[in-house]
Structure 1
Amino acid sequence: MDPVEDFRQRVDRNIKGIGADRDFLGLSNIWIRESIRHEYAQNFTWLGRPIIQVPQDSYAMQELIWACRPDLIIETGIAHGGSLVLSASMLALLDYTDAVAAGETLDPRASRRKVVGVDIDIRPHNRAGIESHPLAHKIQTFQGSSVDPALFAEIAAIAKDYQRIMVFLDSNHTHEHVLAELELYAPLTTAGSYCVVWDTGVEDLPDELSANRPWGKGDNPKTAVWAYMKALADEGRTASDGAPLRFEYDKTIENKLTITASPDGFLKRV
């Protein structure tokens, strides 16, 4: 067998084995629960900006972006801007590899690839950090509610000019808000790309870990994903490109990661 194919099949077996190993998955869930008590996800940066993600989820982002090669990434929730910078850095790498493959000289500011981020409150120190970053030219931000119809209309107008679109949802984690985001933003996802809903793991955590939040067990991103996927199956939806909208849970990603904040959150448009 070709060694490349042999390795690919080995990895597939590894991932399937993890998905079937309830003890290993349970151990990982315990680790995630305990890591939250230490605010573990706040410890990491991407190219100098705090990213507020467990490293495994950041790794998943780069794999998805590299595989899907989007020219537009839409993110709700900005915080310190690390996720925007990660997305922008991957788009810059896509620009670079495209230029190398074509034998061209790369003009970093000529590429149309970019990241659009929206947050209800972009704090001045975070805005300053994002706007002074070397990759700021690939980032466009909006301040306001991600589900405000007028603001969404602006973002949707931008999306019309792009061919491959990926979406990351990571703002207010209540069921109502995330479901509203899914209804608006998921249809912008292009075929073969992903709409990722972060922090679905809230549903699996003890109530005390969400005690000071407006979300918690039964009212969180995962319950919103479940409701949205049921609505797609029962009622149907139409994507922005006019085709019927269908997503599937990509369990391969979360089984590969094992440690993730977003079980049932990796939605692939099919």
Structure 2
Amino acid sequence: MTHPYEQFKTECAAEIQAMGQDLELKTATQSWIAQANAKKYSYHFEWLGRPIIQYPQDIIAMQEIIWQTKPDLIIETGIAHGGSLIFSASMLELNALCGGPAEATVIGIDIDIRPHNREAIEAHPMAKRIRLLQGSSVAPEIVQQVQAAAQGKQSILVCLDSNHTHEHVLAELNAYAPFVTVGNYCVVFDTIIEDLPAGMFPDRPWDIGNNPKTAVATYLAQNRHFQLDASIEQKLLITVAPGGYLKRVA
């Protein structure tokens, strides 16, 4: 007899797949995202007192991934106000309380960690699980420090969310995706740029044709260690990372 939870999960999987195939629902979702993004929707949420600058749906997806994969190291590029680092650290803290890796940490990398953000992050109760690195995420000396920190780790998750140009994200993928352990994820945020109306970021160098999604396409074409986990975006519908949840399979 099938366990009730397993039956529930089977039903959910079928429903999620159906949502992913619903073109009318997808069109409505894209319309909503374009309108909400123009109002800076993702800027209006905090995690444990720090701006996280993510959609709530993606926050939930990351919680599920962190619980499932039990990472002892999370690598994040892009810090901003530090909300994502605080989120990751708090999830690692919960995992540890529930039998996960006791010494799990998150490394945050940014070319410019502003003093007020550094001060707030370092004063936060979750700071004990956070290590900050200032410098370009693709600079050899930064990558080498992360490589040293990754030695001996059993489960590594990577989140890329800094400069969103094709060139930079592809360089980050080449630098950091190899650290991801089999069964874990490299999550590339803001692939949604490719699906938004052109010109939505007039003060930024990225746009349609030059963004994280185009970088992911190039990387996947050259690398068979990762596959897109389409079930995540089919479940979320509203996400800044369509085509960006990459699972390491080999």
Among candidates 241, 245, 249, match of residue 262 of structure 1 = 241
C-alpha deviations, 1:127-181, integer Å up to 9, x for none? 1110000000000000000000111101111101311100000000000000000
- What is the CA distance between 1:117 and its match in structure 2? 0.6
Q: List aligned pairs for 1:6-21, cutoff 5 A.
A: 6-21=7-22
In structure 2, the residue matched to 1:38 is 39
Q: Does 1:251 align with 2:224?
A: no
Deviations 1:13-39 (A, max 9, x none): 110110110110111111111111111
Q: Any stretches of 5+ residues in structure 1 without a counterpart?
A: 100-109, 234-245
2:187 aligned with 1:230, yes or no? no
Aligned to 1:68: 69
Percent identity over paired residues: 52
- Residue number among 114, 127, 135 corresponding to 1:144 in the alignment: 135
Of the structure 1 ranges 75-84 and 90-99, higher mean CA displacement relative to structure 2 is found in 90-99
Gaps of 5+ in 2: none
Q: What pairs with 1:28-177 in structure 2 (closer than 5 Å)?
A: 28-98=29-99, 111-177=102-168
Q: TM-score, normalised by structure 2?
A: 0.97
- Runs of 4+ in structure 1 off by over 6 angstroms are none
> Taking structure 1 as the reference length, what is the TM-score of the superposition?
0.90
The CA distance in 2 between the partners of 1:259 and 1:253, in whole Å, is 10
Q: For 2:168 and 2:125, how far apart are their aligned partners in 1?
A: 32
Secondary structure of the structure 1 residue equivalent to 2:136: coil
Q: Which amino acid aligns with 1:44?
A: F
Opposite residue 174 of structure 1, the aligned amino acid is T
Aligned residue pairs total: 248
Q: How many Å separate the matches in 2 of 1:151 and 1:13?
A: 43
Q: RMSD of the alignment, in Å? A: 1.1
Cα deviations by residue, 1:94-136 (Å, 9 ceiling, x for unpaired): 110118xxxxxxxxxx932000010000111111110000000
